[in-house]
Structure 1
């Protein structure tokens, strides 16, 4: 989401969670056999908040007839699973200040101590973000109290930075798409053993 997000952009994010958008998605997937449905938008979760995201997950599950997950709720569940109390949200530079505030508020309402750091040393264009740059920047800006680091934003190209960041910082490192995959695997009851993408996905059994 570009810097200087407008109320219209927030309205668009909210609209992506409403019934008309879900109906369009259901039409696109009609006739296909699904195991789960995921709503992949961190900023939508921030805008609608925890309670509305829970309702979104319920509506997705009812609409598609399969388990459903959403980005922010997946991260919160992963943090709880690992006993995290203090999390540092690392936001990409294209998140504006309002998203910073909404992100911190979202996780605080879940009971976490949350601080936000904007990765201003990275490119403002998602396509130009390189994993090594993410690793180097985040390593030098990790809060000493943070038990976990969240590379927030489903458009933040940071999955390939997770493993090295965990090695360098000694912290649990979560990334929006990694946490969403973990949640999908969990709700479908599948065991897994995925290497190279951090401690979260190295777990070998489902949490369901």
Structure 2
């Protein structure tokens, strides 16, 4: 029976595409129930349209008997900021009666769980969006030493990037900032497959925002399911 351990509600700002990084790390007995808000470009207009639809968008996961809800992407965090996002998520959680988190909030928690204070962030986004991403993590209590992206303007174009793009940008960024305590790979592009390789190369924790989202799910549900081969966050959950 699919989802006999847990059903994860996943609300994407755009679409949920398979195969994806989730296929690499989703444990046996877990199911993802996905829905999307049809964001087609990384613009303020598209982001705000998605935010306005959040309340209605989450209702389907209650009907589908999900155990937790993840809101993917960066929409709410970059447009409203860290503190406002926390307040909106708490309200939505009360509204649907389920634990709710954004991928960005889960990533903040994951970095703190690994006891790192500084990070550099590799993304596929445009510079204007990157600065909002940086501010979010700074406001969340981390020190972002640098952020760099590949200037991708549309969500669909992230999916078209070569699988190794996150590895190359992540390693380049890390090498430019000696002493940084961690490396974060943020976004929809493929990142999970290269986390362990980057950890071996750099000697520091490497966090994919997708892996951090799954880590939050497992922590929230009180499950200890070590997942090997994709970095220390998932391999050593407690």
TM-score, shorter chain, exceeding 0.5: yes
The equivalent position to 1:116 in structure 2, one of 141, 146, 161, is: 146
Q: Distance in 1 between matches of 2:51 and 2:119?
A: 26
Q: Distance in 1 between matches of 2:237 and 2:119?
A: 24
The equivalent position to 1:102 in structure 2, one of 132, 148, 158, is: 132
Q: Deviations over 1:29-73 (max 9, x none)?
A: 353222111111224312211112112221232122121111111
Q: Distance in 1 between matches of 2:197 and 2:73?
A: 25
Correspondence list, 1:58-73, <5 A: 58-73=90-105
Q: Distance in 1 between matches of 2:168 and 2:132?
A: 26
Deviation for aligned residue 1:77: 0.7
The equivalent position to 2:224 in structure 1, one of 191, 194, 207, is: 191
Q: Is the 8 A contact 2:61 2:69 kept in 1?
A: no
Q: Deviations over 1:167-186 (max 9, x none)?
A: 11111111111111111111
**Structure 1 residues 171 and 52: CA distance shift in structure 2, 3 A:** same
**Structure 1 residues 33 and 88: CA distance shift in structure 2, 3 A:** same
Structure 2: tracts of 5 or more residues without a match: 1-13, 15-38
Structure 1: tracts of 5 or more residues without a match: none
Q: Is the 8 A contact 1:57 1:69 kept in 2?
A: yes
**TM-score, scaled to structure 2:** 0.73
SS in structure 1 of the partner of residue 64 of structure 2: coil
The equivalent position to 2:113 in structure 1, one of 61, 73, 81, is: 81
**TM-score, scaled to structure 1:** 0.83
The equivalent position to 1:148 in structure 2, one of 164, 172, 182, is: 182
Q: Distance in 1 between matches of 2:165 and 2:70?
A: 28
SS in structure 2 of the partner of residue 131 of structure 1: coil
Q: Is the 8 A contact 2:148 2:173 kept in 1?
A: no
SS in structure 1 of the partner of residue 112 of structure 2: helix
Q: Deviations over 1:81-128 (max 9, x none)?
A: 111111101121xx2222111111111112221033324499x83233
Aligned residues: 196
Over the residues paired in the alignment, what is the CA RMSD in angstroms?
A: 2.6
